[in-house]
Every structure is written in C-alpha cells, then in structure tokens.
Chains A and B, each alone.
Chain A
Amino acid sequence: MSDESISVIRIRDVLLVTMPADPDDTTVAALQERTLEAMDLHDVRGLVLDLSKVEILDSYFARTVAETAQMVGLMGGETIIAGMSPAVAITATELGVTLGKTRTALTIDRALDLISKPGDGTRPRREP
C-alpha cells in the first residue's frame, strides 16, 4: 500500500480532500481535524471528499465522514463525497451505514462542477 495519509489541496475555492485506501483510526480521526482547519484557513465554498482510493468504509469511518460534513455545514460550507467504488458502496449498504444527508457525486469532476456552481446554501465569499 503506497500512501496512507490524507491529502488536502485547494483548487480555486474548493478543498479537495483525498482519503487513502485503508486509513487506520488515527488517520480517520485526522480527517475531521485537517478538514476543519483547512476550512478555517482558506476562503472556500466547501470540500470535495475524494473516496476513490478507499477500499473499505466501516461504521467508524462512515460516522466520521457524516460528522465532518455536518461540521463543515455549520461553518457554512458544503461537502460532496465523490468517487466511491461499487464494491465499497455495496459493502457499506449491506453493513447498514449511511452518510447522513451528504451530497454525493460519481467522479471528482462532477463534484467540482456541483460545488462551484454558485447557488443557495453555499458559503458566501469572504470580503478580503
């Protein structure tokens, strides 16, 4: 397994947060911290959470994702989950996990399209 850490990059006014294939609990917990920190630091509308590398989504991981999206929402940002593989989607559904009301997209591209469309509910740009 190559990289086991989270990557956070900023693309225009969106954060792209990429999770590794099989994050341990410490890495999953870091998702919340890293994301909220980055949200606070940058003037962004929200984040795209890239789960395309992820091989399993257990109850702990799913709960953390849903909670993080909720916290980002409280900060005025939007979260879109993108790239979940069919195997992960099937398995997570069979396990019984849900991601709350978080929006999802098939690919990162589609997620970026969705989030960068100015509309209701997205974070207003901060005055410089």
Chain B
Amino acid sequence: MNLEDQGEVKIKQEADIAMARRAIRDIAKKLGFGITETASIVTAASELSRNVFKYAGAGVMQWRTFTSGENKGVELRFEDRGPGIADVNEAVREGYSTGGGLGMGLPGAKRLMDEMEIDSTVGKGTRVTVRKWCRR
C-alpha cells in the first residue's frame, strides 16, 4: 500500500465539523470518487467528527489517501482523549445512544464506508478508523 497524501483537521469547536467535511470533500473529489461516493464519505466524516466534538469535546480527524495496485482509497481516523466507549459492540448497534441521539452515527458511517474499526478504552479515549475504496 503506497501512501499518497495525508493531513489532519483539528476538531475543537462545532464549526470544525463543517471544516472536516469540506476538507474531505475536496480530497475525495480529487481522488476520483463519484458524486454519491463523495457524499457518503463526507456524511460519514460529519457523523464521526460530531461524535468527537459531542462526546470528547475535542480531537482530530487524520486523513490519508493511498493506492494499492490499481485501487485508490481514502482512510479517515478520528481520535480523541474523551471518555471512551464501554461496549463497542453496543455502540455500533442501530439505535444505541447515550447522548439522546438516534444512535445512527456509528452504524450509518459503517454502512457508508467500506471498512470501519473502533478502538476505545474507557477513560482514555476513542479511535475510529474508516476506509473507502474508489472503484473505477
């Protein structure tokens, strides 16, 4: 897997959620993702960066693009030092929310992307990594 490009967007305030969306929209378009795939990536980024802001108060979205053979892809990593998630399997379940939400952010982001991994420790923080491959 060859790393092509990378960067990050700090999430410290509500307006940074929109900043993260804008950054990732440009990257996805440049990489050759179509309109719907780009919308999927941007929507997942919006949900995951909102979780960072809502539950941890602050964090970062790191992105990188890569090529593997013929395939291009993008990886987004959302990292925070917030409260962590006690039961990750519960958290990805549709409708599970401790924040009075609809609990669709994590399961929705998983459907919109090709791969998702959650690494979380209570009291330490959370890292959510998602990837999407460009099929063309």
A62 to chain B, nearest CB (A): 9
**Count of residues in A whose CB is under 8 Å from the partner chain:** 24
Docked-complex contact A95 and B42, CB < 8 angstroms: no
CB < 8 Å: which of B18, B43, B50, B94 contacts A91? Answer: B43
Q: Could you say which residues of chain B place their CB within 8 Å of the CB of A99?
A: none
A92 to chain B, nearest CB (A): 8
Please tell me if A94 contacts chain B, counting CB pairs below 8 Å. Answer: yes
Extra A-B contacts (17), CB below 8 Å, given A55-B42, A56-B39, A94-B40: A1-B22, A22-B18, A24-B14, A25-B14, A26-B15, A56-B21, A56-B43, A58-B43, A58-B46, A58-B47, A58-B50, A59-B102, A63-B102, A91-B112, A92-B43, A95-B108, A96-B104
Please tell me if A74 contacts chain B, counting CB pairs below 8 Å. Answer: no
Question: Residues on A close to B: CB < 8 A?
Answer: 1, 22-26, 55-60, 63, 85-88, 90-92, 94-97
Question: Residues on B close to A: CB < 8 A?
Answer: 14-15, 17-18, 21-22, 25, 35-36, 38-40, 42-43, 46-47, 50, 94, 101-102, 104-105, 107-109, 111-112
User: What's the Cα separation between A63 and B108 when bound, in Å?
Assistant: 14
Give how many A-B residue pairs fall within 8 Å (CB-CB): 71
Which 3 residue pairs spanning A and B have beta carbons closest together?
Answer: A24-B18, A95-B108, A58-B46
Q: Name the residue of chain A whose CB is nearest to the CB of B21.
A: A22
Docked-complex contact B14 and A59, CB < 8 angstroms: no
